[in-house]
Amino acid sequence: MNWEIVMGLEVHVELSTKTKIFCSCTTEFGGAPNTHCCPVCTGMPGTLPVLNEKVLEYAVKAGIALNCDITRYNKFDRKNYFYPDLPKAYQISQLYLPFARDGHVDITTPSGVSKSIRIHEIHMEEDAGKLIHSPYGDATFPDYNRCGVPLIEIVSEPDFRSAEEVVAYLAKLKSSFEYLGISDVKMEEGSMRADVNLSVRPYGSSEFGTRTEMKNINSFKAIERAIAFESQRQIELLESGGTVVQETRRWDDNKGKSLAMRSKENAQDYRYFPEPDIPPISISEEMIKELTDAQPEFAHEKLERYVADFGMAKADAEIITSSKHLASLFEKTTELCGNPKETVYWILSQIMYFMNERGVLPENITLSPEKFARFIGIVLSDRINRQTGKTVFEAMFFADGDFDVEKYIVENNLEQVDDTDLIRETIKSVFAANPKTVEQYKAGQTKVTGFFVGQTMKALKGKAKPDTVNKVLTEELKNL
Ligand code: ADP
Ligand code: ZN
Ligand code: MG
């Protein structure tokens, strides 16, 4: 039988506000255990939570970006459960009136499937702490620093049919939140975590199968592996006459397996009730308008504009818009130097190389658009050639603080050599030093020309103007 995979995602995103959702503790990642806590976020009796205004602002920004209806009057609810990572024994969340509903995210997969994933709702809630289990198996150490870090949870409809669609969706969320500046969206640090609900059904069936839920998978690769494993497990179970049990499973990426964790809980298991300590929130039309007007230009919009306005290749535009920081460096530099092509050339040839080979992260790039633009001006004015340009670019890119491109070129004697006589003399001495190659050329092996160019360049320390070298070499070859 042919099976279809059906998936719905619940994605938790930590908002990058300075302070927690209901108290003024820092949200900073790390820190010595239990040092970013206070009586409010550890749920001491008698304390009162107060909603952080920034959290609401960031959340609504996300809701608008994902095309949701913003709930003008929304509320918090208590989700009760006992677990050592939650000292209050309840999590403040939103069940009955989440702040955003009925949105959609448009995706295109690498194999060309374009579709719209419906968003059921987005709610605000607080994160729980972390449990660190002793490697000796005899103790667990709770760290409550993460308690009360603001989260939004984005619940999709069961609209995914392949791992590729899931990854495209997560990449789009990640990019949107990065451009919005509301989250670090680092899956490795847990600031974006995905739960995958998955079921299978015979192709053509209109009913959904029973689903399992895999919690907190923290990389795109792991998600692909988890989906492949779990869908296969369910198919084999059904084909051998078994039934899928609705349960929560843990994906163990090292073992490459999903393992049963607990049976699926229902809303009633949590004894939800309205949070009595926080008044309902009313969101004004002005606020919605203001936050709608403040939406940034997102990656896919930039991509279209770069292709249309600058004639950029789509693949290049994809790379540059893959990071807000790269896109901003590109735009500002282009504005200053007036040459998008040249800016793209240096980003793709040099910066991408540093990112891939040396682990440079776009958010850590310190090169200013001003320096970058001045550098491009120098290359275009023929003061240095492209080869030397790479050396200069690298020095400039990794320099900390003051770096004067002009001074660097002069001090290191890197200016382009365009002296025809000097180049001619050099070529002649290259001929003299390589009589065998000269004979080969005379015998009709014209491919040795490249060797002469290389030797001449080398003799002139890579600084000669390539056009002039080619021109003079052609003349001298005729004289042989
Ligand atoms: P619950 O209230 O039990 O958490 P929801 O209806 O909120 O369940 O669904 C949770 C997630 O599971 C949603 O993302 C939804 O799209 C997805 N989902 C629901 N039913 C299925 C199914 N049969 N197969 C795959 N995903 C499903
Ligand atoms: Zn606190
Ligand atoms: Mg749910």
363 and 462 inside one domain: no
Domain end among 411, 435, 464: 411
Q: Which of 288, 313, 329 is the last residue of a domain?
A: 288
Q: Is 51 in the pocket of ligand 1 (CB under 6 A)?
A: no
Same domain, 143 and 195: yes
Cα–ligand 1 centroid distance for 291 (angstroms): 30
Asked if residue 248 has its Cβ within 6 Å of ligand 1, the reply is no
In this structure, the answer to whether residues 107 and 206 fall within a common structural domain is yes
Give all strands (DSSP E) within 256-342, no chain letters: 257-263, 273-274, 281-282
Nearest atom in ligand 1 to the alpha carbon of residue 213 is: 12
Judged by its nearest atom, the ligand closest to the C-alpha of residue 269 is 1
Query: Do β-strands 247-252 and 212-217 pair in parallel, antiparallel, or remain unpaired?
Result: parallel
* 267 in the same domain as 191: yes
Task: Identify whether residues 131 and 91 lie together within a single domain.
Answer: yes
Angstrom distance (rounded) from CA 346 to CA 374: 13
Pocket-testing residue among 5, 155, 156, ligand 1, by greatest number of atoms within 8 A of Cβ:
155
Note the pLDDT of residue 241: 94
The residue contributing the CA closest to ligand 1 atom 14 is 8
Q: Two tokens at 86?
A: 């939650």
Mutate which of 211, 234, 249 to test ligand 1's pocket (most atoms within 8 Å of Cβ)? Answer: 211
Q: Which pLDDT does position 189 carry in this prediction?
A: 83
pLDDT, residue 467, reads 87
> Using CA of residue 234, residue 240, residue 245, residue 250, what is the dihedral sign?
negative
What's the domain range around 381? Answer: 297-411
Comparing CA positions, the residue from 124, 165, 136 lying closest to residue 12 is 124
Q: Along the chain (480 residues), what's the average pLDDT of each consecutive run of 10 residues? A: 96 97 94 96 94 98 98 96 92 96 96 96 96 90 96 98 96 96 90 95 94 90 95 96 92 88 77 95 96 96 96 95 95 96 95 93 92 94 88 92 87 85 90 91 89 90 87 88
Domain count, the chain: 3
CA-nearest of 1, 420, 7 to 236 is 1
58 CA to centre of ligand 3 in angstroms: 22
Mutate which of 165, 197, 230, 268 to test ligand 1's pocket (most atoms within 8 Å of Cβ)? 197
For ligand 1, the distance from its centroid to the CA atom of residue 209, given in whole angstroms, is 11
The answer to whether residues 271 and 173 belong to one domain is yes
Helix, strand or coil, per DSSP, at residue 243: coil
Same domain, 189 and 91: yes
Expressed in angstroms and rounded, the spacing between residue 174 Cα and the centre of ligand 2 is 27
Q: Is the CB of residue 93 below 6 angstroms from any atom belonging to ligand 1? A: no
- Measure the CA–CA gap between 266 and 316, rounded to whole angstroms: 47
pLDDT at res. 182: 97
Shared domain for 260 and 142, answered yes or no, is yes
| Statement to judge: residues 129 and 177 lie in one domain | yes
Same domain, 437 and 356: no
Report which protein residue has its CA nearest ligand 1's atom 11: 8
Question: Domain boundary residue among 256, 288, 320?
Answer: 288
> Is 165 found in the same domain as 29?
yes
